[in-house]
Amino acid sequence: MAIHGIVTIDQHHQINFLLKSDGMNSMGVLVRRLFLFGSLGFLSLIVACGGSGGAGDAISSSNAPGTSNPPSTGAITLKPPKLSFSDTGLSVSDGVTRNGLWAVDSDYSWEFSLDQGVTWTIGSGKSFEVKGDGPKMIWVRARDDAGNKSEIVVVTCVLDTIAPAPVAVSSSVDGFTRSLQVTGLEANAKWEYSLDNQISWHAGSGSALGTLGNGLSMVWIRQVDLAGNASTSQVFDLQAAGSSMSHEASTNPLQPSKMADGLLTMLIHGVVVRGDADYVRWDIPKNHRVKSVRLVRYVSEDAIAFYAIQSSNVFDAGVDVSRMLVYGHMGPADLNRNVLANISPEKLGEGPMTIWFQQTGTLPTEYAIDIILQAVN
């Protein structure tokens, strides 16, 4: 949810703050305060803080879009401080974050207010932290021992530190594909899955994870909300009694195993050695294309295996690379690399695709390949 601050100064030197939010029904806060402008300068910058998933992106008040300097009505002798924070949510512009820590870069001492200037707290060090979930308006200014002050820097955000509830996961079988249906997502939340006991996570798309193969056992699934809070994980055992539907992918290039239709996230997994190739096909529906094909698991003492993809319902290209969409080696160095990144989008649309995965060495190789489809106009 984005919180935007708008500042106006009327002819009576009255300061009007209008807070507007995107995605929140009829939320508006009008804060009006009367200030006398003497040696105290006032108000320059308005920024919105936001969230993003992952390690975090720094957003600074010095370069935020839409900032402005209102007319000065008094002597301003100090340079205002610069504020920044590490973004933690799914978007860098929605104003929602789970991180209340703000970094302060100031040439002077500084102070901050959480009640629109009624009370001020002397800052210490290079940062301060706001707590308590909900919308925040933060004022920060520089000051010196002589009583001089800078313009006030104003930042707004929504702090959300509460983790969402776990998702619900159910299983269904269609042909050789086992699909894990994901429900219970919060609004605007995303789901992701892990194959290595929650060490690394991979983003899912659509409402289900389709799996085909015999190389995996445990899959963990969780959701991440707009502020970047992760739920506890739900674990599904593909090999548990009564739930196992292990299918070794076809070794026949003219009769590849087929993934079920209607999935946006697919996972092909298996174990291969020399002479044991896997062939799997998936169909791209109308108004969709392949967004990515990535190796997400590789366990072997052999550092490389071979793969190739053909835009066909069979793999009849043999070793003719001119008929392959893409081909090459896969190994630990290629984890999470999109092998279709350099392929023209028009070649990734409606129609069948078949992948060939093979280990040419004698050492067994466990692998998993993630395929993501996306809707297009």
Span 282-337, pLDDT tens digits: 999 999 999 999 999 999 999 999 999 999 999 999 999 999 999 999 999 999 99
Tell me the pTM. 0.77
Comparing 69 with 306, the larger pLDDT belongs to 306
Look at residue 61 in the predicted model and tell me its pLDDT.
55
The least confident of 66-70, 156-160, 307-311 is: 66-70
Span 21-66, pLDDT tens digits: 444 333 333 333 333 333 333 334 444 443 333 334 544 554 443 3
Beta strand 153-159 with 96-97 is: parallel
What is the 3-state secondary structure of 65-87?
CCCCCCCCCCCCCECCCEEEEEC
Q: Percent of the chain having pLDDT more than 70?
A: 78
The stretch 180-195 carries a mean pLDDT of: 96
Assess contact for 161 and 88: CB atoms under 8 A.
no
The token pair that represents 26 in the structure block:
């009829």
Phi, psi dihedrals of residue 332, rounded to the nearest 5°: -55, -35
pLDDT at 9 over 90: no
Cα separation, 185 vs 224, in Å, equals 9
Q: Would the CA dihedral through 116, 119, 125, 129 be positive or negative?
A: negative
Cα separation, 343 vs 345, in Å, equals 6
The stretch 140-152 carries a mean pLDDT of: 94
Tell me which residue has tokens 């967004």.
291
The stretch 164-183 carries a mean pLDDT of: 95
Residue 93: pLDDT band (50, 70, 90) is confident
List all residues 6 or more positions away from 49 whose beta carbon is below 8 Å from its beta carbon: 59, 85, 87, 95, 97, 155, 156, 157
Assess contact for 267 and 176: CB atoms under 8 A.
no
C-alpha closest to that of 314 among 248, 247, 252: 252
List all residues 6 or more positions away from 275 whose beta carbon is below 8 Å from its beta carbon: none
Q: Would the CA dihedral through 306, 309, 314, 316 be positive or negative?
A: negative
Span 199-215, pLDDT tens digits: 999 999 999 999 999 99
Comparing 71 with 123, the larger pLDDT belongs to 123
List all residues 6 or more positions away from 288 whose beta carbon is below 8 Å from its beta carbon: 349, 350, 373, 374, 375, 376
The stretch 104-124 carries a mean pLDDT of: 96
Tell me which residue has tokens 């999470």.
336
The stretch 1-23 carries a mean pLDDT of: 39
Look at residue 76 in the predicted model and tell me its pLDDT.
65
The stretch 88-101 carries a mean pLDDT of: 85
Look at residue 30 in the predicted model and tell me its pLDDT.
32
The token pair that represents 50 in the structure block:
């936001």
Q: Which domains does the chain have, with CATH numbers?
A: 2-159 (no CATH), 168-375 (2.60.120.380)
Look at residue 4 in the predicted model and tell me its pLDDT.
37
The least confident of 8-17, 25-34, 238-247, 356-365 is: 25-34
> Which amino acid type is present at position 23?
G
